Amino acid sequence: MKLKIAVLPGDGIGPEISRVGVDVMKAIASRFGHEFDFEYGLAGAAAIRAVGDPFPEATLKLCKDSDAVLFSAVGDPEFDNNPTAKVRPEQGLLAMRKQLGLFANIRPIQTFPGLEDKSPLKAEIVKGSDFVCVRELTGGMYFGEKFESDDKAYDTNIYTRPEIERILKVGFDLASRRRKHLTVVDKANVLASSRLWRKVAQEMEKEWPEVKVDYMFVDNAAMKMIQEPRFFDVMVTENTFGDILTDEASVVSGSMGLLPSSSIGESTPVFEPIHGSWPQAAGLDIANPLAQVLSVAMLLEHFGLVEEGKTVREAVYASIRQGVVTPDLGANGESEYGTEAVGRWLTSWISSAGA
């Protein structure tokens, strides 16, 4: 197969983990006889400094002209610490999602054998957890009408029926292919937008009679995720709730450096780790590249390259079993392996098929 991949390294640790992701894809291409062409674009603070725009037109064109986007991370303290900044790196991420019509963010959450003790939760609670968060990505407060002054500010949480229907369909379809259990997360006891979500979901239940549907307020869902993460199979929710809950879910796996995601919709799909740019670690060779690598597995599987995706996942599992991990996963927060060394080990494993 021939694919054109737009690579957006972004900021902070982004370039370091991006290199590992690209190297893994090159190893897969070599082993399975594919042709992956990579072209790089600017995003985030790097783009602001270069051209004054966190998601410039050239990057949008590159994304639209590509089969997939391999994205890493955006964010920079220079902008985080300046509340008066009019242009921010994260605006580039929102612009990419909106302009590519990426309305569905799919974030798998799982535990990895041997790493259960890395979770702050008890091992017997997290062991065997395996669920997927489906987050609506282009609506809600992040994109609604905004106002800000010295004395007043608001963000409008607006959703329309078509927006809700299309993301719920993704959730129902995914649940029907997994354990046939869907949890719709909202705040329908307080928010009008959530009551519309619940109304639409109840109407759509009839189209998937094989799927068991639960309705859960977001505060209860947050508690349930910590108390009983194995309860969940597929969770679907709106933009803001999904952002918060999926970061919380990282404690189940034990590290945000283990969680990949895909964003799909009307145009080119984007594959990225859910963690941020961690600027304090940039250049220190300690960033965990496994979430980026698992995002590569999702990319490959998106295009029907099932065996290739499986090989990437097996390489990740092997690295964990053999202790070839970055300090966040090492014993006592230490490891002899840095980002680059883990990347080299993974590509070697893929090239030799684990022999």
- What is the CA 191 to chain-centroid distance, rounded? 26
The CATH fold of domain 1-102+266-355: Isopropylmalate Dehydrogenase (3.40.718)
What pLDDT does residue 81 have? Answer: 72
What is the Cα–Cα distance from 300 to 28, expressed in whole angstroms? Answer: 10
Q: Flag whether pLDDT at 83 surpasses 80.
A: no
Kindly state the tokens that stand for 14: 């982004």
Residue 289: band (very low, low, confident or very high) from pLDDT cuts 50, 70, 90: very high
Kindly state the tokens that stand for 97: 């999602």
Question: pLDDT above 70 covers what percent of the chain?
Answer: 99
If you average pLDDT over residues 103-129, what whole number do you get?
92
Mean residue pLDDT across the chain: 94
Q: Which residues contact 83 (CB under 8 A, 6 or more apart)?
A: none
Query: Which positions are annotated as active-site residues?
Result: 142, 187, 219, 243, 247
Give me Rg for the CA atoms of the chain: 20
For the structural domain made of 103-254, what CATH number should be given? Answer: 3.40.718.10
What pLDDT does residue 85 have? Answer: 73
Residue 22: band (very low, low, confident or very high) from pLDDT cuts 50, 70, 90: very high
Residue 80: band (very low, low, confident or very high) from pLDDT cuts 50, 70, 90: confident
What is the DSSP pairing of strand 181-186 with strand 212-217? parallel
CA distances from 139 to 97, 209, 289 (A): 10, 28, 30
If you average pLDDT over residues 131-138, what whole number do you get?
96
Is the Cβ–Cβ distance between 178 and 234 less than 8 Å?
yes
Give the range among 16-20, 86-90, 259-263, 282-286 with minimum mean pLDDT: 86-90
* Residue among 309, 313, 302, 308 nearest 346 (CA): 313
If you average pLDDT over residues 291-309, what whole number do you get?
97
What pLDDT does residue 250 have? Answer: 86
Query: What are the sequence ranges of the domains in the chain?
Result: 1-102+266-355, 103-254
Q: Flag whether pLDDT at 242 surpasses 80.
A: yes
What pLDDT does residue 217 have? Answer: 98
Residue 354: band (very low, low, confident or very high) from pLDDT cuts 50, 70, 90: low
Write down the pTM of the prediction. Answer: 0.90
Residue 153: band (very low, low, confident or very high) from pLDDT cuts 50, 70, 90: very high
Asked if the domains at 1-102+266-355 and 103-254 fall in one CATH topology, the answer is: yes
